[in-house]
């Protein structure tokens, strides 16, 4: 296919070098954004009288037909094209003749690429946000049903204090709130239109950059420095950073699901639809979705480090190195969106083994702190109470029982302050419900938090 730049060259590009230089294999992902940007540019050129209004109309209708034909499979993007931009311009000229050659007036591939990538990133962020919201809705549904599903809370992966499943999952709900906030912060910061910046120094044509910015939905209007416009990839680095944090949260959650799914814990049963088996061991049921989410986290981190490394030594303004932003960004956006979707499906169909979780909390002595607090309220100094309960825990370990299973006589062998009310004081329900500070797992506090989360999910961004 004809290049957009061949006039000053006397020899054809070496075929191997041409393939090395090509980007159509991945920037074809942006065909829709490229066409939408070109339609806005053509509309502006016609309104400003830079090209004949009739030619602008022809260009817009031609681009619209190309978009429909690609969408519906009637037009295949050629792998012979240098990039998606040259393919679309070539297809346009084929359809409408010389009027198509006027499209690139007042525009460079540099500001065209910058625009396409911003539009693509914006669209993908919105798609991902929908996925994160669906994940939060699934989480909230499980939380509402498990306000009194008691389980051990952990520190150092050791059973620590009793919580509820609702409270535990609420921690992830909070993480995903921050993730969504970060994405919308990025959308706001990147909401400037680079179109009209030219190669790096603007153009002599009287472009109406405000018009194209408005047509393309950029809230803050056009960018303010043409050199920065074509060389800025901050928004993409920020996006990859936000995606990395999302994957870190998913990976932590996946790790817990994997542990809880093990034979040793048996806190959860993953649905057959989100599990796989072994080719050699008939008994196996593997948590592959969770493991893949955990594994793909490193891949997304790699995309972030790749782009940071690419950008660190690039002088102003545009350099071909920046072509390397796309494969990593496309891959990361696709993988994070897929991971969020599949993780949500897995979580929505998972079975929580409530009785096993509660027994684990009891036999893990998660109410030991509450037993010590009971003695403190009876007048014993906390350090002495700590020692008393520590000795009781040793007894229980020897017998393979929980603190609740000790008789009152056995408890009094360590302290005469114990009375019959100890059993209510250290029941898991009491231990949890009396924790009423804001953010604690007590059922009254959790009901407030769930009500807040319901309102949060109803808000439109």
Q: Which residues contact 394 (CB under 8 A, 6 or more apart)?
A: none
Q: What is the CA radius of gyration of the chain?
A: 30
Can 156 be counted among the known catalytic residues? yes
**Cβ atoms 193, 212 nearer than 8 A:** yes
Q: Which residues pair with 155 in a beta bridge?
A: 158
**Cβ atoms 421, 411 nearer than 8 A:** no
- Catalytic one of 15, 156, 279, 407: 156
Query: CA geometry: angle at 62 spanning 123 and 208, to 5°?
Result: 65
Q: What is the DSSP string of 72-140?
A: TTSSPPPTTSSSHHHHHHHHHHHHHGGGGGGTTTT--HHHHHHHHHHHHHHHHHHHHHHHHHHHHHHHH
Cα–Cα distance for residue pair 127/122, rounded to 1 Å: 9
**Cβ atoms 164, 146 nearer than 8 A:** yes
Cα–Cα distance for residue pair 30/116, rounded to 1 Å: 7
Residue 251 CB burial class (10 angstroms; 0-12, 13-18, ≥19)? buried
- Helix 84-96, helix 109-144: angle, nearest 10: 110
Classify the phi-psi angles of 274: left when phi > 0, otherwise alpha if psi is within -120 to 50, otherwise beta: alpha
Best CA proximity match to 290, nearest among 279, 274, 277: 274
**Cβ atoms 368, 389 nearer than 8 A:** yes
Cα–Cα distance for residue pair 174/440, rounded to 1 Å: 13
Q: Which residues pair with 351 in a beta bridge?
A: 269
Tokens of 215: 């047509």
- Helix 84-96, helix 31-47: angle, nearest 10: 50
- Catalytic one of 78, 220, 262, 278: 278
3-state secondary structure of 364: coil
Sign of the torsion angle spanned by Cα atoms 272, 273, 275, 277: positive
Can 278 be counted among the known catalytic residues? yes
The catalytic site residues sit at 156, 278
């Amino acid at each position: 296919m004809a290049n957009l730049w061949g006039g000053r060259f006397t020899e054809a590009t070496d075929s191997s070098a041409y393939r090395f230089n090509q980007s159509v294999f991945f920037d074809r992902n942006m065909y829709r954004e490229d066409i939408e940007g070109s339609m806005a540019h053509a509309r502006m050129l016609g309104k400003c009288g830079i090209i004949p209004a009739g030619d602008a109309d022809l260009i817009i209708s031609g681009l619209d037909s190309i978009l429909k034909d690609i969408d519906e499979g009637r037009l295949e993007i050629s792998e012979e094209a240098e990039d998606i931009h040259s393919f679309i311009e070539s297809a346009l000229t084929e359809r409408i003749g010389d009027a198509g050659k006027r499209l690139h007036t007042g525009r460079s591939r540099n500001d065209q690429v910058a625009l396409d990538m911003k539009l693509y990133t914006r669209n993908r962020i919105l798609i991902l946000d929908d996925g994160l919201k669906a994940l939060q809705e699934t989480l909230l549904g499980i939380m509402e049903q498990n306000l009194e599903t008691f389980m051990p809370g952990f520190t150092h992966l050791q059973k620590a204090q009793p919580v509820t499943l609702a409270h535990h999952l609420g921690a992830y709900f909070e993480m995903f709130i921050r993730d969504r906030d970060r994405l919308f912060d990025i959308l706001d910061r990147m909401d400037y239109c680079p179109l009209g910046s030219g190669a790096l120094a603007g153009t002599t044509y009287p472009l109406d950059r405000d018009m194209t910015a408005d047509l393309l939905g950029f809230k803050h209007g056009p960018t303010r420095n043409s050199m920065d416009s074509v060389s800025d990839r901050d928004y993409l680095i920020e996006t990859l950073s936000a995606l990395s944090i999302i994957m870190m949260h998913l990976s932590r959650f996946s790790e817990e699901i994997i542990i809880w799914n093990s034979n040793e814990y048996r806190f959860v049963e993953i649905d057959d639809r989100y599990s796989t088996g072994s080719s050699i061991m008939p008994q196996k049921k593997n948590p592959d979705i969770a493991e893949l989410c955990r594994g793909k986290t490193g891949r997304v981190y790699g995309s972030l480090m790749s782009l940071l490394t690419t950008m660190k030594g690039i002088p102003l303004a545009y350099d071909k190195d920046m072509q390397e932003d796309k494969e990593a960004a496309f891959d990361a956006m696709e993988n994070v969106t897929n991971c969020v979707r599949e993780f949500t499906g897995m979580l929505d169909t998972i079975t929580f083994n409530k009785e096993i979780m509660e027994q684990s909390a009891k036999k893990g002595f998660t109410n030991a702190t509450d037993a010590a607090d009971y003695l403190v309220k009876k007048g014993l100094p906390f350090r002495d109470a700590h020692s008393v309960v520590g000795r009781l825990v040793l007894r229980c370990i020897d017998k393979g029982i929980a603190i609740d299973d000790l008789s009152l006589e056995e408890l009094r062998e360590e302290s005469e302050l114990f009375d019959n009310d100890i059993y209510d004081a250290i029941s898991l329900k009491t231990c949890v419900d009396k924790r009423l500070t804001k953010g604690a797992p007590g059922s009254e506090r959790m009901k407030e938090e769930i009500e807040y989360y319901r309102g949060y999910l109803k808000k439109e961004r």
